[in-house]
Chain A
Amino acid sequence: MLVIKDLHAKIDDKEILRGINLEVKPGEVHAIMGPNGSGKSTLSSVLAGNEKFEVSDGHVTFNDKDLLALAPEDRAREGLFLSFQYPVEIPGVSMVNFMRTAVNEHRKYRDEEPHTASEFLKLMREKKKLVEIDSNLTNRSVNEGFSGGEKKKNEIFQMAMLEPKLAILDETDSGLDIDALRVVANGVNKLKSENTSTIVITHYQRLLDHIVPDFVHVLYKGRIVKSAGKELALELEEKGYDWIKKEFED
């Protein structure tokens, strides 16, 4: 599904990703962990197409297409979804209008008719129920005045609406109370299938208790320095990152 080969990226001439290699197959859940400043969020931004970062080398294919050649909106329409670490507040754009525009743009890309108003509202209702999101949130402007937890739940709701093939969750667990974490994790698990994949970027083991990864990778100084099964997350939780750093420096 996703193949990253020797990916280098920089911002303001500072190289942040220094040769990432990663392959994600359908149905897999990958966790990417690592200390602050290791490049985790940069990786997710580069994959989603944020123009702030310049890709200086490497290749990424997504379902056999050259991902880096696609505009951000086309990446989304191809089935890539980024759950933002800091979802943006957009006062004045209603959630309904936002989601209807997004869903219909996806449909147009697939040569499908746009949803009628009633079809769309039905879809919204179903998905809201699926991810246990409060009805009130969708009556408001996009993320405006939402609490941290509400914003993250809203990301998962959008994910449910857009049904991506690959979801990248960028520190979706940061700042979440245990209840919101459960809602978010349940949402992700319900949306998972053998044809879809998930990349969970996180600092902590906690989320991985709920979303169980097949692989755990440690990102350090812009490279994946260690990959293993889910037990690696537990080990990191226990011992911290210092031993990885040490291993890497040696």
Chain B
Amino acid sequence: MNKTCRIINLQEEYSQLFKENISLLENGAPEQMNVLRAAAFDSFISKGIPSNKVEEYKYTNLQPYFKGTFDVAFSSDGAINNNSEKFHCGVPNLDTYNVFMINGWFAQQDELSTLPKGVIIGSIRDKAKEHPEIFEKYYNTNAPVDSDAMVAMNTAFAQDGAFVYIPKGVVVDKPIQLVNIMTGENDRLIFQRNLVIVEENAQVKMMLCDHTISPQKFVINNLTEVFANENSIFDAYNVQNQHNLTTQVSGMFVHQKKHSNILTNNLTLHSGVTRNNIRVTMDDERCESHVYGLYLSDKNQHVDNFTFIDHAKPNCESFELFKGVMDDSASGAFTGRVLVRPDAQQTNAYQSNNNLLLTENAKINSKPQLEIYADDVKCSHGATVGQLDDEAMFYLRARGINENEGRILLMFAFAYEVIEKIRVEPLKENIRSLVEKRFRGEFDKCDSCVVCGQQGSSVSCL
């Protein structure tokens, strides 16, 4: 069932939306989800949708984007409308295990039979009820509901999403991909909540891709909590490919235990307004984390990556690299908070943010924020903002390569470092060619998705 809400004053109507529909929100949702709603709602309402007066959202005022008249789905059949029947997924070159969501709600998935025994994948609503002991142990234990209004909002309103559980010692040989299709006949507000648990000594690689396939305005608040337990390996590749009317607030909150090794890579290839909240808590010794991102923006697009690496325990290593290419009047922000707590001796933390501004109107705010309370650590950070290298350009032209082709080669060269960090070979190839197409201007959202092969339809090619 869909409800239409008209948001003008934010808190007022969001409050009303929650209170009027609390029974619909709770209907069929796991108990633990419902138990947490009220407190999360209070936290959300007391803070409100962040404006740029909130320090952590200084460069992205979300308030205007969360106003409007939106459909909100309060049940699966509300989210999965007629439009979404049309999608069909063929996977080029990528052998993956696919889970489809529509407007944040679980829609369908591939046969599970080929997956290793004990792996649980499905709708968070269903799986939480089948495995309450797992769900209740983890759900919302690593999401900063009290400090971030958008996390609180998600916890208050989310009703569905993906649940992924990899049992002890299991290595999932092919990547799991969560495809979220956004579609509808009216503008839409979407919530999605994913929970990923990688048990001791287990390994999994995931791809998340969010697509808009109809031309309406979409406002998305999605959140993924990840628990990487002892000696586990976890990769997440988030491919963001949406039309210009989309606003996405995407949370990735990773909790690490001893000897775990995690990688997140946010590839923002096309978007309207994107805010990525990435937080890694290294809550045990000898953790390793790799936090990467690539954002390619033009027109009036805006991408804000807010990262927080929490070195809570000694002997951990983190590697952070974000690169951006901004064209036209695109704007962006990067915040890299690294916290080394007092006991976290022998920490190695490296951070780098490099930006290429192609026009005078493009803008980036880069803000490294290192807070170091231990005395025996190695931490470094670097932020650069620059233009294409004239000397390299002349070198290319002196070999007969025209200026436009030279620009593409150099932009690609700039971006490649992040693409090289992808630990799934076929995905790396696909992203490589997609990024090149993006720079050539041949790419639009009508291109099939690199990950899921989803073809855009012409109407949605805004």
Contact = CB atoms under 8 A, between A and B. Distances in A.
A121 interface: no
A77 B389 CA distance: 22
B416 A92 contact: yes
Interface stretch (A10-18, A68-76, A195-203): A68-76
B425 interface: no
A48 B398 contact: yes
Nearest to B412: A92
A102 B401 contact: yes
A88 B395 contact: yes
Interface string B112-123: 000000000000
B398 A72 contact: yes
B410 interface: yes
B77 interface: no
Interface stretch (A1-9, A93-101, A183-191, A209-217): A93-101
Nearest to B411: A92
A50 B394 contact: yes
Interface residues of A, number: 29
Nearest to B415: A92
A159 to B, nearest CB: 10
B392 A88 contact: yes
A219 interface: no
Interface string B359-402: 00000000000000000000000000000010110111111111
Contacts of B413: 90-93, 141
A87 B398 CA distance: 11
Find the residue from A51, A92, A109 having the highest chain B CB count within 10 A: A92
A72 B392 contact: no
Given A49-B397, A92-B417, A105 B405 contact: yes
A84 B395 contact: yes
Given A84-B395, A88-B391, A88-B395, A93 B401 contact: no
Contacts of B394: 49-51, 72, 88
B18 interface: no
Nearest to A102: B399
A105 B402 contact: yes
B399 A162 contact: yes
A49 B401 contact: no
A106 interface: yes
A158 interface: yes
Find the residue from A90, A141, A162 having the highest chain B CB count within 10 A: A90
B294 to A, nearest CB: 13
B410 A71 contact: no
A158 B405 CA distance: 18
A31 interface: no
Contacts of A158: 399
Given A92-B413, A98-B409, A72 B397 contact: yes
Given A48-B398, A49-B397, A49-B398, A90 B403 contact: no
B414 interface: yes
A90 B397 contact: no
Nearest to B409: A93
A48 B391 CA distance: 13
Nearest to B419: A92
Contacts of B403: 71, 73
Contacts of B391: 88
Given A84-B395, A88-B395, A90-B392, A106 B410 contact: no
Contacts of A76: 397-400
B396 to A, nearest CB: 8
Interface in A133-153: 141-142
Find the residue from B392, B399, B413, B414 having the highest chain A CB count within 10 A: B399
Contacts of A97: 409
Contacts of B400: 73, 76-77, 102, 105-106, 109, 162
A97 B414 CA distance: 15
A82 interface: yes
Nearest to B420: A92
Given A93-B412, A93-B413, A101-B409, A73 B402 contact: yes
Contacts of A49: 394, 397-398
A79 to B, nearest CB: 10
B80 to A, nearest CB: 42
Nearest to A78: B400
B436 to A, nearest CB: 10
A71 B396 CA distance: 12
A90 B398 contact: no
Interface of B: 389, 391-392, 394-403, 405, 409-410, 412-417
Interface of A: 48-51, 71-73, 75-77, 82, 84, 87-88, 90-93, 97-98, 101-102, 105-106, 109, 141-142, 158, 162
Which 3 pairs of residues, A with B, have the shortest CB-CB distance? A92-B413, A76-B400, A72-B397
23 contacts: A48-B398, A49-B394, A49-B398, A71-B403, A72-B394, A72-B397, A73-B398, A73-B399, A73-B400, A76-B400, A77-B400, A90-B392, A90-B396, A91-B413, A93-B409, A98-B399, A101-B405, A101-B409, A105-B402, A105-B405, A106-B400, A162-B399, A162-B400
